[in-house]
Structure 1
Amino acid sequence: MTRIDGDWLEAFDEAMLGFFAIDHADAGMDEFLLGCYAGIPAREAALAFGEDYDLNRVDTFWPPPGLNVSS
């Protein structure tokens, strides 16, 4: 079984949170599935996982256009 580097996993989770608002545990990734992506840089791996599993990207603009947040 592939050993997952802790620094890589931390960077992967950070990228997953930034792109999709979930980490690897939220995505249900086990060590085997993480190993499938561990051979590429964490940011690229997060994007590849999102594409492979059809994840929706987080809206980076807050507030979203049309949302009235004024009192």
Structure 2
Amino acid sequence: MTVTPIDPAWLAAVDAELLYLFAIDHQDAGMDAFLLGCYADLPPREAALAFGSDYDLERDDALWPRPRVPV
């Protein structure tokens, strides 16, 4: 089995989304190269949301809503 190389820019963006949504990064979540490859075809936000849904992660904003920024 070959593992698809992970684009460092994509991984940084996924980590940013995971931190924003779930207050963890891919290392905290235990994501190895194989597991990252399962989500690598998705845009970073969708990958983070799909991972969170697949593993029943609790959204950070569900516990501590973020203050609204005036528009």
Give the TM-score, by structure 1 length: 0.84
Q: Say which one has the larger Rg.
A: 1
Q: Give the aligned length.
A: 63
**Residue segments in structure 1 that go unaligned for 5+ positions in a row:** 64-71
- Post-superposition, which runs of at least 4 consecutive aligned residues in structure 1 deviate over 2 A? 59-63
The answer to which structure has the higher helix fraction is 2
Aligned CA RMSD, in angstroms, stands at 1.4
1:37 paired residue number: 39
Task: Measure, in 2, the Cα distance between the counterparts of 1:8 and 1:62.
Answer: 25
1:51 paired residue number: 53
The percentage of aligned residue pairs carrying the same residue is: 65
**Residue segments in structure 2 that go unaligned for 5+ positions in a row:** none
Give the TM-score, by structure 2 length: 0.84
CA gap 1:4/1:57 in 2 versus in 1, 3 angstroms: same
CA gap 1:39/1:62 in 2 versus in 1, 3 angstroms: closer
The 5 Å alignment of 1:1-71 reads: 1-59=3-61, 60-61=64-65
